[in-house]
Structure 1
């Protein structure tokens, strides 16, 4: 749960600062980090896939919120 919160905050920072290529790279890096880690530790299973999906949702929902907050208003 703590990792998902950190990923959400990281997604907000990416959304405020960068565009969609950065979130694609961050999602790929997250996948490239966790799958080999779970494979080496012998923890790769169906539950790990659900955790991975949750991590991706946290990262990308933070990105959407950050992008929304970075969008200028109509009056600006």
Structure 2
């Protein structure tokens, strides 16, 4: 396992290794979490029932509990 600190990200060997990592799952989760957060805020502003706001919160928490490689 390689640990990269600070500016070592810019080293040619590290750049090639980092570019090979599959980050699509983590990116997808981040986009879904953002969309759920915005939806929850919109529901709150529209004064929808608290259960409707909590749906977004619980969905976001469920996404966060799904395992994703922490090195990404």
So what's the TM-score if we normalise by structure 2? 0.42
Highest CA radius of gyration, 1 or 2?
2
- Which structure ranks higher in relative contact order (CA pairs < 8 Å, sequence separation ≥ 6)? 1
Which has more helix, going by share of residues?
1
